[in-house]
Amino acid sequence: MRIFISHKLEDAATANLIAKELREIKVECYLDLLDNSITENGKALTDHIRANLNDCTDIIVVMSSITRFSQWVPFEVGMAAQKDMPTATFLKEDVSLPDFLQYWPRLKRYTDIKKYVLARNDVDREYRFIYESVSQQRKTEHFYDVLKQRL
């Protein structure tokens, strides 16, 4: 598992804390703040984000009252949705989510990060041994159900 952390620059502290939580439980993540190779914008930056998102298995989206002003967060979420990548939102504060993010599980505390990882690992194990022929979409749907029950 490798988790892409999507966020607006103003939410960098929260994104860093999520990355720290993931590292503590030995889960790899991609966070642009930790990537010293980002030097371009435009197409080069788009390609860089796409490549790193494609190297990840999951995405956690940091949501705050200013996320709606981001041009990159919706882009990253759209790319992840095309791949049916397991997705969760991390609510930095009590914020009204846009319609396109209402469906996914909502993490509200840093301890929810571990619940996310445990639920994801449990579903992976279950599907590996029982449902080998089941589509990624069904597996992701089942993961959402399991995680929502645990939150």
Give, for all 151 residues of the chain, the pLDDT tens digit: 999 999 998 999 999 999 999 999 999 999 987 655 665 677 777 888 888 899 999 999 999 988 878 888 988 999 998 988 999 999 988 888 777 778 889 999 999 999 999 999 999 888 776 655 567 777 888 889 899 999 9
Which tokens hold the place of 22? 């993931």
Q: Which of 142, 136, 21 is nearest to 150 (CA)?
A: 142
Burial of 39 by CB count in 10 Å (0-12 exposed, 13-18 middle, 19+ buried)? exposed
> Contact at 8 Å (CB) between 69 and 11?
no
Q: Whole-angstrom Cα distance, residue 151 to residue 109?
A: 10
Whether 150 maps to a domain, the answer reads no
Whether 116 maps to a domain, the answer reads no
> How many structural domains are present in the chain?
1
Whether 135 maps to a domain, the answer reads no
